[in-house]
Chains A and B, each alone.
Chain A
């Protein structure tokens, strides 16, 4: 389109790199090169909610896990929990504990990936450093210790998944009613023996990160630093959990606005809106409407909503984290910090679970036929609250599915964040690569998983608008 007085100049960042998925960003500039608007577009489209129809529900954990190779375990857990509800069984206690360990290993490896492999080059080599070397291999060359620690942490999480589930990516171990095999003594001991080393690495990394955050004051004030709600799952006592609990929502002051919400009734309080410019649906808190019901999920949200972790070191770190800001911690830059505290928690919590003798129980699966036509499973994935909702017919074949994906919850906040960071750093008249890298970096802070977020069957409309400077829509095309 020719650039005229009534059309905007646009900068496109395509693809956004060092994130998990296919996305691009468009920045709309005014006549003076200032950023007027910014949009995050997710460009991949999958279709899981549709093509699962007609298939046996028992296939769902393994099939739905294929939405994502980064957090397949989270999908396995949410899917299996939805299937448990279809069977209407209570799974054996040992199976639940084993699933918890599986989930924690997954959070650990995913967080390590996000921080070390994807985001750390910005902090270590610099936001403005040479883009040809600004990646994990550049970090490996210049700061091999930090990169090796990251690789080791991720490897540890992946090894636990392999020990329990038989393979690192897309294991088939979690099944409706529990898990398929109990934990062997040899595998328990092999995990336990590595825990002290991992704890040391996690603590070292956390101290290192806290030490460098001072350098990024400008980024902290502009990387998605605004009031929103925060949402996540907590236990009945308000403690953090990744596996099972009730949804709690707090506001920007840190006050609980809703608690004890049943994830199975998510449709009562979560609205989903199709965004015209993206394959990702945005969710919002229904009582406050769109877009005022904007909320964030994931590590930052979990630290803002939970009263405690329930493990020694993570609780100390949580107390220190809340010294950053007396209200809820608002800047999305702090997602990274929160992620590192959660890594620490995962290691401490796995130790607790593995020290429990019941973890070796041979009773790990409840067998049943389907007893309910509808089931919902929810869990905290690395990136936030994940919900699988299935309906089946009398033969156990899938009739309908809906997935609410962690990354989708953050859709509104990610869009608002790129606008904030772009307005702060990007000047169209004297454009530098480092400016645009910061716009991408705020997306990296959220650690979005776009292959997950575009699972949907896509009741999408494509709308193209030609907008004048005064905001008047001159022309609109709809398909």
Chain B
């Protein structure tokens, strides 16, 4: 059986969720045995490829560019996972939404950031949500392994918002 195709995506976040993914440490080898990382900031693939089985998406959707990316990702991905609080609730990136529109416009937001930060699920359907800031490596490992086995992970006892 050919390996599953895994992607990790970093939208508007701090990369803490990607760091937590790297905190899998040697368990990265176990993940690499089951899946090929076909797109990620960690690999040199420049364009999001077709037929991705699982995509872990970190960060909020905060720009037209993010919006464009998440739509392509949704089209080309079987299971889309919101990884971490920014991708689940928009979290810290959305804190800039509190400022009135005019003030935002006066700032640089009017340039190529025409969207106020929102979550991927506001613009595309998301299949799995993993809260946490960031979710721990143990949580990520459990969720990825379950997804790679074709099961839906039950995360209720493992992680919570802000943890």
Contact = CB atoms under 8 A, between A and B. Distances in A.
A68 B107 contact: no
B15 A459 contact: no
B5 interface: no
Contact of B32 (A51, A63, A137): A137
A460 B111 contact: yes
A458 B112 CA distance: 12
Interface of B: 10, 12-20, 22-23, 25-26, 28-29, 32, 37, 41-46, 62-63, 65, 92-93, 95-96, 98-99, 107-113, 133-134, 136-137
B97 to A, nearest CB: 8
Contact of A148 (B26, B107, B110, B112): B26
Given A158-B23, A168-B137, A21 B15 contact: yes
Given A67-B14, A69-B19, A451-B13, A18 B92 contact: no
A169 B44 contact: no
Shortest beta-carbon contacts, A-B, top 3:
A69-B16, A458-B108, A460-B108
Given A45-B113, A69-B18, A158-B23, A135 B95 contact: no
Given A66-B92, A135-B42, A168-B137, A155 B107 contact: no
A68 B14 contact: yes
Interface in A408-464: 437, 451, 457-460, 462
A22 B59 CA distance: 12
Contact of B15 (A20, A47, A132): A20
Contact of B45 (A66, A131, A151): A131
Given A46-B93, A167-B136, A17 B98 contact: no
Contacts of A152: 25
B29 to A, nearest CB: 6
A17 B18 CA distance: 14
A169 B107 contact: no
Interface residues of A, number: 51
A69 B46 contact: no
Contacts, number: 132
A169 B134 contact: yes
A154 to B, nearest CB: 7
B159 to A, nearest CB: 11
A23 to B, nearest CB: 11
Contacts of B18: 69
Contact of B42 (A131, A132, A136, A158): A136
A166 to B, nearest CB: 10
Majority secondary structure of chain A interface residues (helix, strand, loop or mixed): loop
A17 B43 CA distance: 7
Given A135-B42, A140-B32, A151 B13 contact: no
Contacts of B37: 135, 137
Contacts of B28: 136-137, 140, 151
B62 to A, nearest CB: 8
Nearest to B94: A51
A15 B95 CA distance: 26
Nearest to B32: A137
A131 B113 CA distance: 31
A98 interface: no
A176 B94 CA distance: 25
Given A151-B25, A458-B107, A18 B41 contact: yes
B108 A51 contact: no
Contacts of B95: 47, 51
A460 B113 CA distance: 12
23 contacts: A17-B46, A19-B41, A20-B41, A44-B12, A45-B62, A51-B95, A51-B96, A66-B14, A66-B92, A67-B14, A68-B15, A70-B16, A72-B16, A131-B44, A131-B45, A140-B28, A140-B29, A148-B26, A158-B23, A169-B20, A169-B23, A170-B16, A451-B13
Contacts of B17: 69
Contacts of A167: 136
B16 to A, nearest CB: 2
A43 interface: yes
A82 B146 CA distance: 44
Interface centre among B22, B32, B37, B137 (most CB of A within 10 A): B22
A14 interface: yes
A167 B135 CA distance: 10
A457 B133 CA distance: 23
A387 interface: no
Contacts of B134: 69, 169-170
Given A63-B92, A68-B15, A451-B13, A168 B43 contact: no
Given A17-B41, A479-B111, A43 B14 contact: no
A117 interface: yes
